[in-house]
Structure 1
Amino acid sequence: MTPKDLIEAWVKAFNEGNAAKLSDFYHDDAVNHQVANEPIEGKSAIFEMFSDEFRQAEMTCIVEQILEDGEWGILEWKDPLGLRGCGFFHVVDGKIKFQRGYWDRLSFLRMHNLPIPKE
């Protein structure tokens, strides 16, 4: 599976709110680092992250564009509430080895009426 194909399938599973299907796209030792949060290491921890997030908020990923460069796929996205972001996916042997995402956490929390942590 190419990085672009994988990202397209990932977006479909994300929009279904399917944490199990999403976690299947990752290597057992994958890292998912959404820069607004601490890095998550390991497929099972990534599953838990998505499960928690889907319980907290209804999220939809609208693809703006998907780019591919070798083993890397880049997703530029928006959501129906106006939040925008991008993600970088390092795909090795058809699965995500490393993912990094950039988005505005404070805007996300406000848009979904979630508590804002005191840090």
Structure 2
Amino acid sequence: MSPKEVIKRWVVLFNNGNADEIAELYHSDAVNHQVANEPVIGKKAIKEMFSQEFSTANMICIPEHIFEDGDWAILEWKDPLGLRGCGFFRVMDGKIKFQRGYWDKLSFLKMHNLPIPMV
């Protein structure tokens, strides 16, 4: 699959809340770094991250644009509550090797009535 095709599949699995299947889109040593959080390294840890996130909030990704350039895909997205963000995915051999996402964590926590950590 091309990077753009991988991201289209990723969106479907994300919206289904399927941590097992979405994890299969990643290399065994992939890195998922949502910049509001610490990087998550390895397919197993990424699966656990998605399992936790899917059990915490009902998240929906509505793609606005998906761009492809070489082995990179860029996903610009929104959700039904008004949150917006973007993700950068490096896809190698049909699997995600690296992902970086940008979104407003404070807005996400407030929208889903989740506790706001005090630091």
TM normalised by structure 2 equals 0.99
Taking the aligned partners of 1:67 and 1:28, their CA distance within structure 2 comes to 24
Alignment match, 1:80:
80
Alignment match, 1:43:
43
Alignment match, 1:52:
52
SS of 1:44's equivalent in the other structure is: helix
Runs of 5+ in structure 2 lacking a partner?
none
**Aligned sequence identity (%):** 71
Taking the aligned partners of 1:33 and 1:91, their CA distance within structure 2 comes to 15
Is the aligned partner of 1:111 residue 2:105? Answer: no
Alignment match, 2:63:
63
After the TM superposition, list the runs of 4 or more consecutive aligned residues in structure 1 that deviate by more than 4 angstroms: none
Runs of 5+ in structure 1 lacking a partner?
none
**2:116 aligned partner, one-letter code:** I
Residue 55 of structure 1 and its aligned partner are, at CA, apart by 0.5
Provide the aligned C-alpha RMSD in A. 0.3
**Aligned pair count?**
119
